[in-house]
Amino acid sequence: MKKLLGFVHEIGTIMYVGGILSHIVIGILFAHADPQTTVTVYTYKAESAYILILPGLALKILVDLTLFFFFEERAWWMRIKLAMTAFLVVNAFVFLVPMMPDLLALARASVPAGELSPEFLELEATEQLVGMSNVIPLITEMVMGTFRPPLFGERRR
């Protein structure tokens, strides 16, 4: 059962991290695009968040909670992993997911003028900052789950 959970967790990680990386790449490639291209970019970002990132995050959370509650995995690495995941969930659902429709609407509204509005640019800068704030928690979460280091005097099981 734990092997199956590990496999599901890996699939979730690939979906989640792959989706995030694709957001970064498309954002870099089209950073100074015209409004119509920006509409396409943010349509992609919104849809890939719903198809890859959020389901991947959900799979990771489901597996971690299963390990914590049903398999009683209470080592410090798991506690830290869950805390980092909680940070990522709050960032996703409180900040990033609600920004996607707003960014898309602002990009669409910029098309007639032929240039991105200051409101769009301001919200996009906020989205980028919130996204960057995920780097350390995401790396920490992945390191804890991959290496499961004994912490604070724990012994490896």
Task: Please give the average per-residue pLDDT across 41-64, as a whole number.
Answer: 97
Question: Is 70 exceeded by the pLDDT of residue 55?
Answer: yes
Task: Please give the average per-residue pLDDT across 135-148, as a whole number.
Answer: 96
How do residues 84-140 score in pLDDT, each as one tens digit?
999 999 999 999 999 999 999 999 999 999 999 999 999 999 999 999 999 999 999
Read off the pTM.
0.93
Average of per-residue pLDDT values in the chain: 96
Query: What's the pLDDT at 153?
Result: 87
**With 0-12 CB in 10 A as exposed, 13-18 as middle and 19+ as buried, what is 101?**
exposed
Give which of 86, 89, 90, 75 is closest to 155, Cα–Cα.
75
Alpha-carbon distances, residue 74 vs 81, 142, 150 (angstroms):
11, 17, 11
C-alpha angle with apex 153: 147 to 157, nearest 5 degrees?
A: 50
Residue carrying the six token digits 């604070």:
152
